[in-house]
Chains A and B, each alone.
Chain A
Amino acid sequence: DVKVTQSSRYLVKRTGEKVFLECVQDMDHENMFWYRQDPGLGLRLIYFSYDVKMKEKGDIPEGYSVSREKKERFSLILESASTNQTSMYLCASSLHRDNQPQHFGDGTRLSIL
């Protein structure tokens, strides 16, 4: 079974802090994705990566950056956290082949005070 592990289930940080969310997958997947989930808005794509050291902006990249130094790890960085970044953050990974679905971690519920 595919395992996507997010480092924290719950996180509380203060406005202005630099925040790191970590995601690790164990199935040698090429693609990795970061989403945020807000009530009534579904999932919105923040950043994604097709390979090591590659990154692409999703639909809402402002205020975020990412790092993919190793294939199995994809980090989401909030450079200077703000209260409107309070959300549930979901990481996913997939093989690059056409019919392969995305597999999700359990999510990190981040609160910015």
Chain B
Amino acid sequence: GEDVEQSLFLSVREGDSSVINCTYTDSSSTYLYWYKQEPGAGLQLLTYIFSNMDMKQDQRLTVLLNKKDKHLSLRIADTQTGDSAIYFCAERSEGGKLIFGQGTELSVKP
């Protein structure tokens, strides 16, 4: 069945770049999403990429998609302490359902 995998933890220093990786299994996915969850809150949509794109940039965020390897990454430039959160990768499945990864907890040290 469909599956999305992420590593559970990432720790970086303030000012460095963060790269959060994700792999997925459904090659027919049309859209892939990145969500951010701050403590005690719901999920906030950060960005998404259509499957016919390789890259999408939005200010400090860069999404890279390698469709051949079914690999998605989110790069956060100049990471700040306010970026500390859990980041979820999700692929769009049939009927608008989303399949989520387990989430990567990003810890930013000053």
Contact = CB atoms under 8 A, between A and B. Distances in A.
A34 interface: no
B50 A99 contact: yes
Contacts of B96: 31, 50, 94, 96, 98, 100, 102
Given A40-B8, A90-B42, A104-B42, A98 B30 contact: yes
Interface stretch (A13-21, A41-49, A61-69, A75-83): A41-49
Nearest to A41: B102
A106 B41 contact: yes
Interface in B18-57: 30-31, 33, 35, 40-45, 48, 50
21 contacts: A4-B42, A31-B96, A40-B8, A42-B4, A42-B88, A42-B100, A42-B101, A42-B102, A43-B100, A45-B97, A48-B97, A90-B43, A100-B96, A101-B33, A102-B45, A104-B43, A105-B42, A106-B41, A106-B42, A107-B40, A107-B42
Interface residues of B, number: 23
For the complex of A and B, the 7 pairs showing the least CB-CB separation, nearest first, are A104-B42, A42-B102, A104-B43, A43-B100, A106-B42, A42-B100, A107-B42
A50 B79 CA distance: 38
Interface of B: 4, 8, 30-31, 33, 35, 40-45, 48, 50, 88, 95-98, 100-103
B102 to A, nearest CB: 4
Contacts of B100: 42-43
Contacts of B41: 106-107
A33 to B, nearest CB: 8
A103 B45 contact: yes
A51 to B, nearest CB: 12
A42 B86 CA distance: 10
Given A42-B100, A43-B100, 8 more contacts: A4-B42, A40-B102, A43-B88, A90-B43, A96-B96, A99-B30, A101-B31, A103-B45
